[in-house]
Chains A and B, each alone.
Chain A
Amino acid sequence: QQQVKQSPQSLIVQKGGISIINCAYENTAFDYFPWYQQFPGKGPALLIAIRPDVSEKKEGRFTISFNKSAKQFSLHIMDSQPGDSATYFCAASWSILTGGGNKLTFGTGTQLKVEL
């Protein structure tokens, strides 16, 4: 059972364009939604994260949009650069108080390529 569904599987964007990656979740107990970025040969690293009490969070060129009623969240990369070419994973977890601890459930990943 895949609890976090991510799309698209791959994405090609022109330099300066907007990259958009979408995720949908099923477990309404999830209360923390991070995005991880992974470069080839490296482990994933936290990029940006959001809690469901806000609908949007922005850090530089990266924005998470969150729709609690639709159980969806997305990553927007503005002014995409070749250096943004990487694999992006959405994830979700729930509070230790309801038994989730800090275990992340990951989406299947999106390979982003930003072309010149």
Chain B
Amino acid sequence: DVKVTQSSRYLVKRTGEKVFLECVQDMDHENMFWYRQDPGLGLRLIYFSYDVKMKEKGDIPEGYSVSREKKERFSLILESASTNQTSMYLCASSLSTSGNTIYFGEGSWLTVV
């Protein structure tokens, strides 16, 4: 079974703090993704990585950066957390081509106070 593991399920951070969200997948997938989920807005793509050290902006990259130093690990970084970044963050992975199942982690609930 594919497993996408998000190390932190619940976090509370202060405005201005630097926040790291970590994600690991165990299926040797080329693609990894970070989505943000908000009520009424669905899932919105923040960043996408199709290979080690490669990244591509999604629909809402502002205020976020990512790091992919190893194939199995994809990190989302909030350089200076703000209250409007309070949300659920979902990491996902898949094989490279369209039509391959995208597997999601269980999500990281981030509250910025």
Chain A residues near B (Cβ < 8 Å) = 6, 9, 31-32, 34, 36, 41-46, 49, 51, 89, 93-96, 100-109
Q: Which residue of B lies closest to A1 (CB)?
A: B59
Residues of the B chain whose Cβ atoms lie less than 8 Å from the Cβ of A109: 40, 42-43
- Rounded to whole Å, the gap between the CB of B69 and the closest CB of chain A is 21
Residues of the A chain whose Cβ atoms lie less than 8 Å from the Cβ of B58: 103
Q: Which residue of A lies closest to B50 (CB)?
A: A101
Q: Are A103 and B97 in contact (CB under 8 A)?
A: no
Task: Give the most central of A44, A89, A95, A102: most B CB within 10 Å.
Answer: A102
The secondary structure that dominates the A interface is loop
Q: Are A108 and B40 in contact (CB under 8 A)?
A: yes
Q: Are B4 and A102 in contact (CB under 8 A)?
A: no
Q: Which of B13-21, B70-78, B100-108 contacts A (4 or more CB under 8 A)?
A: B100-108
Chain B residues near A (Cβ < 8 Å) = 4, 31, 33, 35, 40-45, 48, 50, 56, 58, 90, 92, 94-107
Q: Which residue of B lies closest to A101 (CB)?
A: B50
Q: A42-B107, A102-B97 are in contact. List 12 more A-B contacts (CB 8 A).
A: A9-B40, A34-B101, A41-B107, A46-B103, A96-B96, A101-B31, A101-B56, A102-B100, A102-B102, A104-B102, A106-B43, A108-B40
Residues of the B chain whose Cβ atoms lie less than 8 Å from the Cβ of A96: 96-98
